[in-house]
Amino acid sequence: MSDILQQLNDVQRQAVQTTSGPVMVLAGAGSGKTRVITYRIAYLIEQERVEPHQILALTFTNKAAKEMRHRIDQLLHQGSTRGLWIGTFHSVFARILRNYIHLIGYNSNFSIYDSDDSKSLVKQVMKELNIDTDSVPVNTIQGIISRAKNNFILPPQFQRDAADYNQQKAAKVYEVYTRKLKENNALDFDDLLIKPLELFVESPQLLEQLQDYFRYILIDEYQDTNRAQYLVAKQLASKHRNIFVVGDDAQSIYSWRGADITNILNFQQDYPDSSVFKLVENYRSTQTILKAANGIIRKNRRQIEKELVSHKSTGEPLTLIESFNEKREADKVGEYIRSLKLSKDYEYRDFAVFYRTNAQSRVLEDVLRLHRLPYRIFGSVSFYKRKEIKDAIAYLRFILNDHDNESLLRVINFPPRKIGDVSINKLRDFAESRNLSLYGAIRHAAEGGFQARLLNALNAFSSIIEQLKEISREGSVYDVLNSLYELTGIPLLLRAENTPEAMARYENLQELLSMARDFSDHHQGANGLNDFMNDIALATDSDEIQESDNYVSLMTVHAAKGLEFPVVFITGLEEKLFPLNYYEQEELEEERRLFYVALTRAQEKLYLSWSKSRYHYGQPQGCIRSMFIDEVDSDIVESEGGRLLSESRMERERPRQGVQQAGRFNGRSSVPSSFHERPRGEGAGVKKTSDMKAGTRVHHAMFGPGVVMAVQGSGSRQKAQIKFRNAGEKTLMVQYANLTIV
Ligand code: ATP
Ligand code: MG
């Protein structure tokens, strides 16, 4: 154990060893806050002999939880974290709710709705209430409801307080939406935070039991907790009062989701006897990177004064990349990665490319693919959001919880069973008249006087569901999913369709099956399917990052929180993009904090990049470079030619002449020669597509890499049959297909 404590500095060590009473660690990025939480848990288990199950550690992502558990096992010994409660607020409380939610009238097999599911329910409710979605968009109503929930404002109070038109409409929807969720035995994401609070009100005994149970509570990224999270944590901690929170007000970037920075600012008021530690040493980044970050955050009016001191050497200046359009920007990023990897022995996993909005990822992705750089993209359409996966999951959910009408409606015509809206409405009426659930109505359809064709379709459907329910009682998750595929024939249908899209969907379903197999191999026990569904429902994009994979990481800055990478590119640094449109000083300050988060992810080298034009709504538009670039001290930023901006502010106005100046990066040129070439036009340097013949390797913007199998016809009529690596075989008109020969 003393070994472990040696791996900490004095203040970190004190924070670890102050094990009783409320403690807050308030410190800037990279100062070891997460490390302190990890070591403190190890210390509690090893030194103070606390049972792991008495410790509750709340992280911001599932990935962070996994890493923390792994690290503690390493510090102590394998298996020492068994029983430890560690995870996100959502995943931990989903688990707790499974055990106790019956106390507030739900069944423990409740479904968890993601934001798309809840959006479709909101939409349905709006339709029922005759609220025109053109005058008030569904997203707006959904946003208002979610925010109310995050602030723990329940429908009656919300109704009383609703001030403007939108809020009054939202109040009506909120009430019905809440009722419908309950009828479906379903919880949305926000419910995972507020149902525990309702549970505590309903059952003070349970609250007391849990207060006794969790002797130690630790929370990472405390600055991004919202009111509901704050209240849950406070209530749980109120008996032992061993609450340990770490955070950085300068990294609060989720206020749009209801996070409330005052939680961190008020900690000392909530707990007047608390100890507060400040960490000032940064172990992550070079002095130069820190200087940039410190300079940026100082521009915000609203912040707690903190200055970070680097433990590392001065390091390289930041490099400013300027491009004439976003394609060229992506190109340059790709070229830098390639050249750095060669010259400095980096691995692909050492690189991260950040952007402000998800939409920016597509161009980066296309270009990196062209460069044949392995990458993974996080924060785009997650695997779990793809239609076929959601459909399969809806089946599984419905097998567990046949009150879940949303899932039922999703799968009743998947695969197509010709049960149309009219039939569904008839079923609804029948259900209501008999006081049955929708599925109850299907089961009793024979008594409903329906047409024979509909009756057959309904019976076929319910027979599949009943068989699957039976299998789920004894079988593993894998058995259930495998039988689902067999009984519904979904994969076969996709294969028969044989389009690249269908094949990709088929592959995705197979991937889900592999996951189920893996899960079944590692989890025994009665609750298999429930646990599997918990994991899936709460998986977030950033969880998909796998350390062992050697990929360049592409992600939004939000998704990058808490992570670190040797080399970071921040792209799209343009006005109205980063900072994104803002209307008030407060919003600009949040954008600046986001920029601070981005800067402080970098360990060794940082690139700031902007583009002079960018497509917006299908049109190229001129861009102005971000104020954030100019807020970085010009003494520590150099142009691609290697000159400090402070030396030559005019540099970027002068035409570059292909001169290569010695880069400062490690004494070697950091600038691949092609960077100073005349901008390449689209398709320049690409061989003509008329050269195409069987065997030619090509690249398609959407389908990716492929090989030509055969070519038919000529001129504008020419068609090529191409086998794509990931998208199957396709025949395309060469003239229109926008193919490149590689
Ligand atoms: P963020 O605010 O970005 O979440 P953080 O404060 O949580 O950052 P950590 O991720 O815990 O910081 O630490 C940053 C890096 O510094 C990690 O690689 C960590 O292992 C390392 N580090 C922290 N403290 C020490 C120390 N005392 N000795 C050596 N390395 C350390
Ligand atoms: Mg951290």
Ligand 1 centroid to Cα of residue 30, in Å, is 5
Closest C-alpha to 72, from 41, 32, 34: 41
For residue 694, what are the CA distances in angstroms to 305, 499, 568, 710, 711? 65, 21, 41, 5, 7
What DSSP character marks residue 351?
E
Class of domain 113-184: mainly alpha
Contact 282, 308 (CB under 8 A): yes
Is the C-beta atom of 562 inside 6 A of ligand 1? yes
Residues surrounding ion ligand 2 at CB below 5 Å: 33-34, 562
Q: Which pLDDT belongs to residue 379? A: 56
Ligand 2 centroid to Cα of residue 546, in Å, is 18
Class of domain 386-515: mainly alpha
Is the C-beta atom of 33 inside 6 A of ligand 1? yes
Is the C-beta atom of 30 inside 6 A of ligand 1? yes
d(CA 200, CA 329): 53
d(CA 118, CA 138): 10
Q: Which pLDDT belongs to residue 648? A: 63
Is the C-beta atom of 285 inside 6 A of ligand 1? no
Is the C-beta atom of 8 inside 6 A of ligand 1? yes
So what's the architecture of 10-100+194-279 in CATH? 3-Layer(aba) Sandwich (3.40)
Q: ipTM of the predicted structure?
A: 0.99
Atom 27 of ligand 1: nearest residue by CA position: 8
Ligand 1 centroid to Cα of residue 352, in Å, is 18
For residue 742, what are the CA distances in angstroms to 371, 376, 689? 10, 22, 11
Which ligand 1 atom is nearest residue 221's CA?
4
Is the C-beta atom of 284 inside 6 A of ligand 1? yes
d(CA 460, CA 443): 10
Determine which helix (DSSP H) or strand (DSSP E) holds 36, and give its type and residue range. helix 33-46
Spans in the chain with pLDDT lower than 70: 1-2, 379-383, 500, 524-527, 540-548, 617-618, 648-690, 701-702, 716, 726-727, 736
Residue with tokens 């990931």: 726
Q: How many CA atoms lie within 13 A of 558 on its CB side?
A: 17
Q: Which pLDDT belongs to residue 525? A: 65
* Whether the domain at 10-100+194-279 and the domain at 309-382+544-651 fall into the same CATH topology: yes
Which ligand 1 atom is nearest residue 248's CA?
2
- Residues with catalytic roles: 33-34, 220-221, 251, 601
Q: Which pLDDT belongs to residue 689? A: 59
CB burial of 71-95 (b: ≥16 within 10 Å; e: otherwise) equals: bbbebbeeebbeebbbbbbbbbbbb
Residue 412 makes CB contacts below 8 A (sequence gap 6+) with 419, 424, 461
- Indicate the domain borders of the chain: 10-100+194-279, 113-184, 309-382+544-651, 386-515, 696-741
Question: What is the pTM (predicted TM-score) of this model?
Answer: 0.76
Atom 8 of ligand 1: nearest residue by CA position: 30
Considering every ligand atom shown, identify the ligand nearest to the alpha carbon of residue 59 and give its number: 2
Residue 488 makes CB contacts below 8 A (sequence gap 6+) with 395, 414, 415, 464
Domain at 309-382+544-651, CATH homologous superfamily: P-loop containing nucleotide triphosphate hydrolases (3.40.50.300)
Burial class (CB within 10 angstroms; exposed 0-12, middle 13-18, buried 19+) of 458: buried
Ligand 2 centroid to Cα of residue 126, in Å, is 41
Q: Which pLDDT belongs to residue 513? A: 87
Q: Looking at this protein, which amino acid is placed at residue 585? A: Q
